[in-house]
Amino acid sequence: MKYRNPLKRILTETRSSWDHEGTRDSVRGVFASALQCRTPELGAEVYASDSQEFIHYHTCKSRACSSCGNRASIQWRRERWAALPTQSYHGITFTMPNVLWPLFRDNPTLAKALPALAAGVIQAHAATRHSLRVGVMAILHTFNGRLEFNSHVHTMVTAGGLQDSSGVWVADILYDGDALMRSWRRAVIAILRAAAQAGELVTRIPSRQLEQLLRQQETRWWSVNIQSFEDKQHFLKYAGRYTRRPPIAEHRIALITEQTVTFWYKDKRLRRKVEVQCSKEEFVERWAQHILDRYKHSVRTFGIFAPRTISQTTNAVFAIFGQKRRPRPKSLSWAWLMKLTFRRDPLLDRSGNRMKWTRRIPPKSVR
């Protein structure tokens, strides 16, 4: 069954469960903003022609809003595509055993450190084995198809690397998956153990059992997957889909009843769709745990892509490849996105005449 704005409907019907002081400010804020999207509460722009008037209500730009997230995702991909040189890349995904997921769920500070850990593993591997400096984009991904907390890191790394001593670009690097896995495993266990020894790890597991758990995990195999991409577009399309939008697409919501929500996901092992049913409150709770605090970003860059050095190294890398730096793309207009999505220009009236901006309607309230 298809629903119109199903995420908004669920948030509206469960508002008493999340709109209170016990909810994280960031969660409460993005949920409330999503409910105000394209409503008089946020104000509007008015366009008109001789025969017609059109009111366009302002959007919320919240990460809990599917439509705003789609626009932000497209814009982010365009900006990253323009900023990065056209060359081959590797995609390396760092995972961990599921018994460790609750530790990172209950300790957000440690979860935020995972992208830096993954990038450090890659950089150390390239520097130690090849004496090269690489560019890394690391993305913290915290959810799976069931909306459970599943902490892992997706990275995009340059297939080649820069020799600082000579300024020469080495075209390709062979990454050893087993070596990366061992370094990643060692780094993750180390920060958990350090936090526990400092008394800063939030967990209900007794100290002895926790240490036993960590010892078991540091000797088992962890999955580190390496892929090769001819260009950056494949990775950016995937990454943008998960970094700027809600953790579940609205078309996956199959049924909403008075008490429950049913949604589906693709089970890779079973190779089929599997349905999940939970209460509306549990659905919102699962969703909320993946919302970042304000001013926190799930995408971070390191090495030659690091913010402090990119202005210097990017010019050099573009020059090495004989490419020109591209200007930053202009922001996408709402009219352009509606035309792309619905195949019609919203600023054309019934007679095909273009409407022009006439006035602005102020917001009804400021939250």
Mean pLDDT by 10 residues, the chain (367 residues): 84 95 93 93 94 92 84 85 87 96 95 96 94 92 93 93 83 91 98 96 94 96 92 82 82 95 93 95 95 81 83 76 85 84 87 94 73
**Residues 238, 241, 247, CA angle at the centre, nearest 5°?**
125
Tell me, yes or no, whether 338 lies in a domain.
no
pLDDT for the residue 311: 67
* Strand spans (E) along 77-167: 89-94, 135-143, 149-158, 161-162
pLDDT for the residue 332: 82
Q: Structural domain of residue 185, as residue ranges?
A: 66-247+290-320
What is the Cα 307 distance to its own chain's centre? Answer: 19
Tell me, yes or no, whether 347 lies in a domain.
no
pLDDT for the residue 148: 93
Tell me, yes or no, whether 159 lies in a domain.
yes
pLDDT for the residue 35: 94
pLDDT for the residue 298: 78
Number of structural domains in the chain:
1
Tell me, yes or no, whether 177 lies in a domain.
yes
Tell me, yes or no, whether 337 lies in a domain.
no
Tell me, yes or no, whether 297 lies in a domain.
yes
Q: List all residues 6 or more positions away from 90 whose beta carbon is below 8 Å from its beta carbon.
A: 156, 157, 158, 159, 173, 175, 226, 227, 228, 229
Residue 339 to residue 266: CA distance in whole angstroms: 30
Angle at which helix 177-197 crosses helix 207-217, to 10 degrees, equals 170
Tell me, yes or no, whether 25 lies in a domain.
no
pLDDT for the residue 367: 45
224-234 per-residue burial string, b: 16 or more CB within 10 A, e: under 16? beeeebeebee
SS3 state of residue 125? helix
pLDDT for the residue 68: 85
pLDDT for the residue 80: 86
Structure-token pair, residue 129: 């084995």
